Structures are given as C-alpha cells and as structure tokens.
Amino acid sequence: LPVKPAPLRMPSPHYPHWASLQADIEAHLKQTIPLKEPLEVFEPMLHLAFSAPRTTVPALCLAACELVGGHRQQAMAAASALLLNLANAHAHEHLTDGPMYGPNIELLTGDGIVPFGFELLARPDGPASASPERVLRVMIEISRAVGSVGLQDAQYVKKTLWDGGEEVQNVESMQRFVLEKRDGGLHACGAASGAILGGGSEDQIERLRNFGFHVGMMRGMLQMGFMEKHVQEERHLALKELQFFMDRDVHVISSFIY
Amino acid sequence: LPVKPAPLRMPSPHYPHWASLQADIEAHLKQTIPLKEPLEVFEPMLHLAFSAPRTTVPALCLAACELVGGHRQQAMAAASALLLNLANAHAHEHLTDGPMYGPNIELLTGDGIVPFGFELLARPDGPASASPERVLRVMIEISRAVGSVGLQDAQYVKKTLWDGGEEVQNVESMQRFVLEKRDGGLHACGAASGAILGGGSEDQIERLRNFGFHVGMMRGMLQMGFMEKHVQEERHLALKELQFFMDRDVHVISSFIY
C-alpha cells in the first residue's frame, strides 16, 4: 500500500478512506479464495487477484453502499467480483509481458476467477440471501461493464489507437470513448452496484451511477494527461450529483474526487 | 451439424434427440449474442461460441430439465452459459493453435462471453424471474464445475501429464482424475443444473447429477480409448440412476448413454 501521496497511476482518493475500504476487500478475498492443493492452481489465482494495479472501482462500490444507508458488508461480494473481473482483464491484456507463472497458467487462472466472482455474489452466505433480485441485477451491471458493450469494447478501440493509423482529430474522440467505456463505465457500475446492494432507491442508484461515471472520467483523464480544465469539468459534474445526498454524510465518498 | 453417425470426438447420443436440443441452444445463442458495431468485437464473440467442439453438456442440461417435468426453455439460459464457458475454456486452451482473429481478440472475446453467460441467467427475461434462488444455485454449480475446483484443475493435471515425467501407474489414475473433473464433473453440473431449473426435488437433482457424472465418464473414456469394460461399467452405473425415473419418459435422456 502506498504511504505517501500516490503517483498518478495509483488510486489516490484521500488516503485513509480509500485504504480502509480497499483493505477490507483484500482481506475478504484472502479469506474466500481457497488456498489448497494443487498450489499450482490456487496460488496463482490468489496472486493474480492481487497483481493487477489497484483501481478505485471496488472501493467506490463499498462507499456507495454506505452512502445509501447500507452496511459495507452488503457490497463486499460485488466489490470482490469487480476486483476479480478487472484482475482477469488486466492479466489477459498483459499476457505477453512475461507473466510470472507462464502464460498457460495465467490464462487458465483468469478463466477461473471470473466465474468465482459471480459465485461470491450467488452464495447463500453472500448478499443473495437477503435480496436475490438485487444480486441478479448487480450481476447484469457487472457483466455489461466488463463485457463486449463495456471494457472489452474500450480495449478493442485502445488497441486500434495503439496500432496507429487514425487521424489526429479522431484520436481525441477515441481516447474519450476509451475513457467513457473503461474508467467511466467501470466506476459507474461500481457505484451503482453498491447503491443497489445497499438498498438504495432508483433515484439514489442513478445519481450514484452518474457520480461514479464522472469519478472514473476524472481519474482516467488525470492518468492520460488530459488538460486540467477537462478534469475540473468532470469533478464539477460529479459534485453536482453528490448534492442530491446533502442530508447524508458524504465525507467518505467525496474523497474519491479530491 | 453432423449428418452421419458422429465420429468419436463428436457428441454422439442417439442423433435426433441430441440434435434437436443442441439446435435449440444454438438458435437461442444466435438470438441473444448481440451482433452490432464494432463487428471486430461482436463477430468473434459469436464465432468463438460456435467454434469449440460441441459437447453433450448443454443438451444434457435441457434433457434433465424436461425429465423432471420442466420446460426446456427454463434451462435454456443455463445450457447457454455452460456452452459459453466451455467455448471460452477451449479457446484459451488452444490460443496458440493459430486463432482466426489473432490472439488478442480471441483472448478478450473469451473474457466477454463468460460474464455474458451469467448475465443470461440473471436477466429478468430469463429463468430468474420465476425462481431467483434456483438460478443463484445454478450459478454456483457452473462456477465450481468450470473453475479451479473443476475443469481448471483437470486442465492443469492434463498439462502435467502432457509434459511427461509421471510414473506409468500414476498416468492412469491421473487420466481418471482428468475425466472425473472434466467430463464427469461438467456433465454432472449440466444435468444437476437442468434438474434444479426444471423444478426437480433434491432427490431428483442428486440422481441426475450422478447420472450426468457417469455419462461424462463414459463419453470421456470412449474418447480417450479406455477399455470397453470400463465404459460398460459407467453405462451400467448411469442406467442405475435412471431407474429412479422409471415412471417417467426416459426416452430422450437415455439416448445420452447409447
């Protein structure tokens, strides 16, 4: 964990809040990912879950859950599923960077952790016992955010960008598209999922979805070196959504935009 | 589709029954996998779903559902999710065999279809509206069958076998382990999932789980060239489980062992 102001590529919401949420998620995952024989199968699964760069998506899921009056435990399985899906996507995107366990193991490991993420949500000791309908809804949210209409689409367009050959005026709109589908979409999903599982109203869910979207855009823009005015614009839009929650304690969740 | 008696590596339950079930699943998938821009993302997803060798797992899921009195439509999303999970596992296992769309697209495509399989189960137009609890239970079944305690474990052990270095007496027990986790476990999951969604009792679900296990063992043994007596043994055990359903029409499901 970072102990100093985090560099741009690290999640850097106001440290203590984010760290406390993230630490809870990681502790939960260490408890739930079985570590048993054959270690060649299980150890890389645990490793993979923690080797991807941390993102603010899972922590935002917990924060949104708490904001609507839920307990963070209610959103823990969704936060874990998000973390596992993102770890898998990262591992597969970087499969050729010299993986630690050999490409075959990394590949198969990723395949295991995606269904496992959904399993955490479905289990009777998870949130499904209290509200199966809300859990099913969150599964659809996650599938769309990481799948072919979300992250996967962004990865494809990013690949096209890297391969070059696009006109310069296209590059900026394509970068924005990548940000919207990837950083914006994933954070929107995290926040909406947390609100759904925390028992939020439809209004609260949609406000938090928008808030998450702008948080993601803002953070993605910072990473990609967008101009300050664009970043400020997203922060402003995010803040506007938070005003809906002014009768609540927005202390933790507003740390995601500062 | 095969029009002649299928070779050993193809599913070969009595042709008309299996073909009718399989055709329904494929028609369902063609309808539900979105085919839209960018075609570079969506077309390979459809291609991937249909490029893996067909297995009897999804069809068995429908047959089990009907045997316990359900309508095959109730098990369609589970059969589709199983097919997509197996297509992904196959694509990733054979990623180095010269994929059609380049390894990166194949890889990302696989990542998309696994969550999409769970989404099909979770959707309000799927079986979840009628019985969310049963759907959640099936998700856990599928996650375990394809994940690190199932198929993935088999793939790892198979890899070890191929790399050689095992004592001969170990090879046979390892082959059996692979069959149990892969063919046995997947068919057990398919049959149990169908029975769960068809509204089966716990007894019926467990009988069909055992039936599926022996169907898978039998078919795996045929593919791997096990001695006829071992195959007959599994067929016999499968038949024994079917006796539990003797007051029902076992015509279709018994075609899986002939």
- Partner residue opposite A111 with nearest CB, options B34, B88, B135: B88
- B24 pLDDT exceeds 80? yes
Q: Residues B181, B151: contact at Cβ < 8 Å?
A: yes
Mention every residue, 6+ apart, whose C-beta is less than 8 A from residue B137. Answer: A122, B196
Q: Distance between CA atoms of A254 and A242, rounded to whole angstroms?
A: 8
Nearest chain A residue to B96, by CA:
A104
**Tokens coding A106:** 């990394």
Q: Distance between CA atoms of A233 and A214, rounded to whole angstroms?
A: 9
Cis peptide preceding B38, ω within 30 of 0: yes
- Rounded to a whole number, what is the distance in Å from the CA of A114 to chain B's nearest CA? 7
Positive or negative: CA dihedral A40, A45, A47, A52? positive
Per residue in A32-41, pLDDT (tens digit) is 887 776 676 6
Q: Residues A221, A230: contact at Cβ < 8 Å?
A: yes
Please report the ipTM that was assigned to this predicted complex.
0.84
- Report the largest interatomic distance among the alpha carbons of chain A, rounded to a whole angstrom: 53
Q: State residue A8's pLDDT score.
A: 40
Tell me the three state secondary structure of residue A169. helix
Q: Residue A18 — very low, low, confident or very high, per pLDDT cuts 50/70/90?
A: confident
Q: Domains in chain B, please, with CATH?
A: 15-257 (1.10.600.10)
Positive or negative: CA dihedral A91, A94, A97, A103? positive
Q: SS3 for chain B, per residue?
A: CCCCCCCCCCCCCCHHHHHHHHHHHHHHHHHHCCCCCCHHHHHHHHHHHHHCCCCCHHHHHHHHHHHCCCCHHHHHHHHHHHHHHHHHHHHHHCCCCCCCCCHHHHHHHHHHHHHHHHHHHHCCCCHHHCCHHHHHHHHHHHHHHHCCCCHHHHHHHHHHHHHCCCCHHHHHHHHHHHHHHHHHHHHHHHHHHHHHHCCCCHHHHHHHHHHHHHHHHHHHHHHHCCCHHHHHHHHHHHHHHHHHHCCCCCHHHHHHHC
Q: Distance between CA atoms of A176 and A173, rounded to whole angstroms?
A: 5
Nearest chain A residue to B43, by CA:
A148
Q: Residues B198, B225: contact at Cβ < 8 Å?
A: no
Q: Residues B143, B100: contact at Cβ < 8 Å?
A: no
Q: Identify which has the larger pLDDT, A151 or B13.
A: A151
Per residue in B124-152, pLDDT (tens digit) is 998 888 899 999 999 999 999 998 778 87
Residue corresponding to tokens 């599982």: A197
Positive or negative: CA dihedral B186, B190, B192, B193? positive
Mention every residue, 6+ apart, whose C-beta is less than 8 A from residue B210. Answer: B188, B237, B241
Q: Residues A187, A213: contact at Cβ < 8 Å?
A: yes
Q: What percent of chain B has pLDDT over 90?
A: 56
Q: Which residues in chain A have their CB less than 8 angstroms from residue B85's CB?
A: 115
Q: What is the DSSP letter of A149?
A: T
| Interface mutation target, options B94, B107, B138, chain A, most CBs of A under 10 Å | B107
- Rounded to a whole number, what is the distance in Å from the CA of B48 to chain A's nearest CA? 13
| Single-letter amino acid code for the residue at A137 | R
Per residue in A114-161, pLDDT (tens digit) is 999 999 999 999 888 889 999 999 999 999 999 877 887 888 777 777
Per residue in B64-105, pLDDT (tens digit) is 999 999 999 999 999 999 999 999 888 777 765 555 556 555
| Interface mutation target, options A140, A151, A159, A177, chain B, most CBs of B under 10 Å | A140
CB contact under 8 A, A116 and B148: yes
Q: Taking residues A191-201, report their average pLDDT.
A: 98
Residue B155: CB atoms within 10 A of its CB come to 23
Q: Distance between CA atoms of B84 and B47, rounded to whole angstroms?
A: 11
